[in-house]
Structure 1
Amino acid sequence: MRIIVVGGEGTIGRAVVAALSSGRHEIITAGRTSGALRVDIESADSVQQMFRQVGPFDALVSAAGNARFGSLETMTEDELVRGVHGKLLGQIRLVLLGRSYVREGGSFTLTSGYLLNDPIPGTVTFAVANGGIEGFVRASALEFGQRIRINAVSPGMAEDSAEHFGHLNPGRLPTPMRTIGAAYARGVEGFRTGEIIPAW
């Protein structure tokens, strides 16, 4: 398969690439500042340019998109919108523009996260974005049918990020990178659609 991994050189993206790099796939990494191709998922023009460069593909994994940490006490509407714009709308944009390039029977695998189901203080924008992604996946699967599969992976606190985020998650065990990578491989190489795949 020809697979695009957006955010392929980030913490989650590297686990995805490792899980899919056994010689049976052609992997194309893309990112804002790293990867084989440059793409800003907050820009429709940038996303469209990436798809024009790649051409037809079999699967796309999105391990990209940022939300914003911040207290609800002081959050403004504009800050909330900016906070979810990258992670939620950016990933939806990949699907909306990529559906014209994905081959019949191809797939999209997006990223939500544990902060929807088990939030911590300061993560309202993450919870909103993750909930939007999961709703989009479930509803889109009904319309795509088996022509295009779409799933999302919900990673826990990644082992490789625990040093930075562990103090914000007391009592939470880090999720091994191999477990996270395997969840994305299930989305790409499996048969289900409309599924939220936990990797906790």
Structure 2
Amino acid sequence: MKILIVGANGTIGKKVTASLADKHEIIKVGKNSGQYQVEISDAVSIEEMFKKSGKVDAIVCIAGDAKWDKFNNLSEEDFYIGIKSKLMGQVNLVRIGQNYINPGGSFTLTAGILADHPVDKTTSAAMVNGGIHSFVKAVALELENGLRINAVSADLVEDAKEKYEDYFPGHTPVPMDKVADGYKKSILGKVNGEIIKIVA
């Protein structure tokens, strides 16, 4: 299987890539690294990436930014960071990517625990994650050519514990192998329109 992974060199992306690389051809994509580069907040950049990659069997996104801050500190432009990057970036990967994915292929997007269990300073990020959940459920009804789509929604992951544990009091970090398995369930399985929730 030819699998394109946006965010392949990130904290989660590295684990997902490693878990698939022995049996599949992986195309690594990043903002500043990988075989190809893409700015997911820019639809033109996404189109150019797909023109270079050609047809693939699965498209995975483990990338996207959102502003973390107190609600009263967030400007309208701050909200647009997450909307343009993590939300519309992933929507556009599907919208444009459906023209570059083989029949029966799959999309796997990334949301997160904040859609269901937000914490302090995550109004924008939680809103974006919730939008991804709703998008996946709705667009799964309309994708053609046997295409599937799911989102992986993980709690705080082990490899990010040191950086983010103060934001997630009481959250038990999820083992990285378990997170990778969630992505493999979407990519290699048959589920469609699912929010694959990964908790410890």
Shorter-chain TM-score tier: over 0.9
Secondary structure (helix, strand or coil) at the match of 2:73 reads coil
Matched residues in 1 for 2:41 and 2:61: separation? Answer: 13
Answering whether residue 9 of structure 2 is matched by residue 13 of structure 1, we say no
Task: Calculate the TM-score normalised by the size of structure 2.
Answer: 0.96
Matched residues in 2 for 1:146 and 1:133: separation? Answer: 22
2:65·2:81 contact (CA, 8 Å) conserved in 1?
no
Secondary structure (helix, strand or coil) at the match of 1:170 reads coil
Matched residues in 1 for 2:27 and 2:143: separation? Answer: 24
1:18·1:181 contact (CA, 8 Å) conserved in 2?
no
Equivalent positions of 1:29-68 (< 5 A) are 29-68=28-67
Shift, 1:145, TM fit: 5.7
Equivalent positions of 1:133-144 (< 5 A) are 133-144=132-143
1:68·1:84 contact (CA, 8 Å) conserved in 2?
no
Secondary structure (helix, strand or coil) at the match of 1:142 reads coil
Please list the CA deviations of residues 89-145 of structure 1 after superposition, one character each: whole Å capped at 9, or x if unmatched: 111110011000100000000000001111111001111110111111000111126
1:141·1:150 contact (CA, 8 Å) conserved in 2?
yes
Pick which of 54-63 and 69-78 moved more: 69-78
1:30·1:36 contact (CA, 8 Å) conserved in 2?
yes
Task: Calculate the TM-score normalised by the size of structure 1.
Answer: 0.96
| 2:79 equivalent in structure 1 | 80
What is the alpha-carbon root mean square deviation over aligned residues?
A: 1.1
Q: Paired residues, what number?
A: 199
Which segments of 5 or more consecutive residues in structure 2 lack a partner in the other structure?
none
Please list the CA deviations of residues 47-102 of structure 1 after superposition, one character each: whole Å capped at 9, or x if unmatched: 11110011110001100101110111122222212232210011111001100010
Matched residues in 1 for 2:31 and 2:135: separation? Answer: 24
Equivalent positions of 1:1-200 (< 5 A) are 1-22=1-22, 24-144=23-143, 147-200=146-199
Which segments of 5 or more consecutive residues in structure 1 lack a partner in the other structure?
none
1:4·1:59 contact (CA, 8 Å) conserved in 2?
yes
Identity of aligned residues (%): 42
Secondary structure (helix, strand or coil) at the match of 2:114 reads coil
Matched residues in 1 for 2:71 and 2:145: separation? Answer: 40
Structure 1 stretches (4+) deviating beyond 6 angstroms? none
Matched residues in 2 for 1:156 and 1:68: separation? Answer: 18
Matched residues in 1 for 2:144 and 2:103: separation? Answer: 11
